[in-house]
C-alpha cells in the first residue's frame, strides 16, 4: 500500500493509525517504522501455525519443531511485507519521488512518499508492490513443491507453501481497484492518463475505496454472524479502507480548491517579528502580547528570519527561566521552516511539507520577509471557497 503526503494532513504528530510506532533501522535506505501491532502479528501467526496448522499437515513432530517453524513462517511473512513496501520505495526513488518512510503494522504496510508527476510513474510505483508479492508467491510455491516432493521436508515445505499462498493473496487483495490499496493507485493512474485530470482520478479512486471498504465491512459482519472470528479482521480492514479513502477523496477536493492560489493571496501581512536575542519574557512583553499572530518569526542581527516561535511555546517556558532563556532557544529553527516566494502556488508549496512539520510558511521576496501562511490562513481560505462553491463547511 502506498500512502501519499497531502497538504491537508495534520502536521503536529503522526498520521492516521500510525501513532504508536518506533524506528527500526532502514530498508533499501528508507527509514523503517514498526507499529506495536506488527510484533503482535508475528506472535499470533506464529502460534496459529505452530499450534494448529502445522501439526495437522505434518503430524509426529515435536512441539518445539512446530513452534520454531511457526515463528519462522510468521517472520517470512513479515519480511514479505517489507519487500512489498520496499519495492514501492525503490521504484518511487528511481522516478524522482521523495520517500519519507515505511511503516509495517498488523493490516499490512504503508510507504509515505510524495506524488508522482506523471501517470506512468504513478502506475509503476503502485504496481511494484503487488508485482513483488506475486514473484515472492511464485518463489514460495516453487520452493515448497521442491521440498515436499523432492526432499520430503514436510514442515519447512508446508511453511513455504503457506507463505507462497499468503503472498499471492496479498497481491490479489492489493490489486483491488480501491484507494488506498495499490489497485486504487493503479486505477488513479489510469484515469489520470485517460482524462488528464489528476484530481478527478483521485476522487474516483477514493469513491471506489469507500465502496470496497463498505463491502468488506458487510462481508465481515456476515462472517462474524456465522461464527467466524475472521469477520472481525475483515470489518477492521473495511473501516480502515473506508476512512482512508474518504479522507483521500476530500484531500483531492481540497487540492482542487487550493490550486492556482498564490501565497500572496492567503498570507498574513504585515508580520509581527522580534529579535532572536531577546529573552522569553521580553519577547512576550514587547512582541507577542502586542500582536494578534500566534506564530511569530524571529530575526537575526542581519534582519533575516532565523526561526519561528509560537505563543504557546513561549507560554510553556518555565516562569523562572524566562528571564535567562533567549527566544532563539525555544524557536523552531529556520532549517525546519519552509520558505517560499509570494507568487508560488499554495498547493505546490504545501505538498513540500514533510509529515510532522507544522503548517507555517515564511513568504520571502528578495531575501525580505513579506508574510506568513499558517494553518488558520489555509482553513479560512478553504471555508471561503467552500461557501462560494456551495459545498458547505460540513464537507471537511
Residues with a known catalytic role: 85
> 118: which 3 cell numbers?
506523471
Task: Name, in order, each residue with C-beta under 8 angstroms of 262's C-beta and a sequence gap of 6 or more.
Answer: 342, 343, 344, 345, 346
CB atoms within 10 A of CB 378: 20
Quick one: 291 exposed, middle or buried, by C-beta within 10 A (0-12, 13-18, 19+)?
A: middle
Alpha-carbon dihedral sign for residues 124, 127, 129, 132 = negative
From residue 276, alpha-carbon distances to 129, 191, 335 in Å are 48, 50, 15
DSSP H or E stretch at residue 282: helix 280-286
Q: Starting at the earlier edge strand, list the strands of the sheet with 360-365.
A: 339-340, 360-365, 368-374
CB atoms within 10 A of CB 75: 14
> 92: which 3 cell numbers?
518511487
Tell me the CB-side half-sphere exposure of residue 345, using CA atoms within 13 A: 11
Amino acid at each position: 500500500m502506498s500512502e501519499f503526503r497531502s497538504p491537508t494532513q495534520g502536521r503536529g504528530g503522526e498520521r492516521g493509525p500510525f501513532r504508536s510506532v518506533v524506528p527500526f533501522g532502514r530498508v533499501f535506505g528508507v527509514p523503517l517504522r514498526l507499529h506495536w501491532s506488527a510484533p503482535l502479528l508475528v506472535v499470533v501467526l506464529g502460534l496459529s501455525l505452530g499450534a494448529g496448522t502445522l501439526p495437522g499437515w505434518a503430524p509426529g513432530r515435536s512441539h518445539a519443531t512446530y513452534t520454531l517453524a511457526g515463528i519462522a513462517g510468521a517472520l517470512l511473512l513479515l519480511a514479505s511485507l517489507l519487500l512489498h513496501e520496499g519495492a514501492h520505495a525503490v521504484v518511487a526513488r528511481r522516478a524522482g519521488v521523495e520517500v519519507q518512510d515505511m511503516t509495517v503494522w498488523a493490516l499490512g504496510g504503508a510507504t509515505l512518499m510524495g506524488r508522482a508527476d506523471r501517470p506512468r510513474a504513478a502506475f509503476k510505483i503502485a504496481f511494484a508492490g503487488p508485482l513483488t508479492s506475486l514473484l515472492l508467491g511464485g518463489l514460495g510455491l516453487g520452493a515448497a513443491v521442491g521440498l515436499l516432493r523432492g526432499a520430503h521436508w514436510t514442515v519447512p515445505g508446508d511453511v513455504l507453501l503457506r507463505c507462497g499462498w499468503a503472498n499471492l493473496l496479498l497481491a490479489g487483495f492489493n490489486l483491488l481497484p480501491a484507494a488506498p490499496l495499490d489497485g486504487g493507485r493503479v486505477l488513479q493512474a489510469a484515469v489520470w492518463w485517460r482524462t488528464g485530470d489528476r484530481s478527478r482520478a483521485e476522487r474516483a479512486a477514493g469513491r471506489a475505496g469507500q465502496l470496497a471498504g463498505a463491502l468488506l465491512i458487510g462481508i465481515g459482519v456476515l462472517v462474524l454472524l456465522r461464527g467466524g472470528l475472521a469477520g472481525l479482521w475483515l470489518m477492521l480492514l473495511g473501516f480502515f479502507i473506508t476512512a482512508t479513502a474518504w479522507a483521500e477523496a476530500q484531500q483531492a477536493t481540497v487540492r482542487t480548491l487550493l490550486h492556482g492560489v498564490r501565497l500572496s493571496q492567503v498570507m498574513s501581512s504585515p508580520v509581527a517579528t522580534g529579535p532572536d536575542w531577546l529573552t522569553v519574557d521580553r519577547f512576550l512583553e514587547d512582541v507577542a502580547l502586542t500582536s494578534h499572530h500566534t506564530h511569530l518569526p524571529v530575526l537575526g542581527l542581519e534582519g533575516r528570519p532565523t526561526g519561528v516561535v509560537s505563543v504557546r511555546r513561549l507560554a510553556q517556558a518555565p516562569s523562572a527561566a524566562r528571564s535567562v532563556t533567549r527566544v532563539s532557544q525555544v524557536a523552531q529553527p529556520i532549517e525546519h521552516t519552509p520558505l517560499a516566494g509570494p507568487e508560488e502556488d499554495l498547493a505546490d508549496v504545501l505538498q513540500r511539507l514533510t509529515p510532522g512539520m507544522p503548517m507555517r510558511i515564511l513568504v520571502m521576496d528578495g531575501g525580505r520577509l513579506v508574510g506568513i501562511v499558517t494553518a488558520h490562513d489555509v482553513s479560512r481560505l478553504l471555508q471561503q471557497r467552500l461557501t462560494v462553491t456551495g459545498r458547505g463547511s460540513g464537507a471537511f
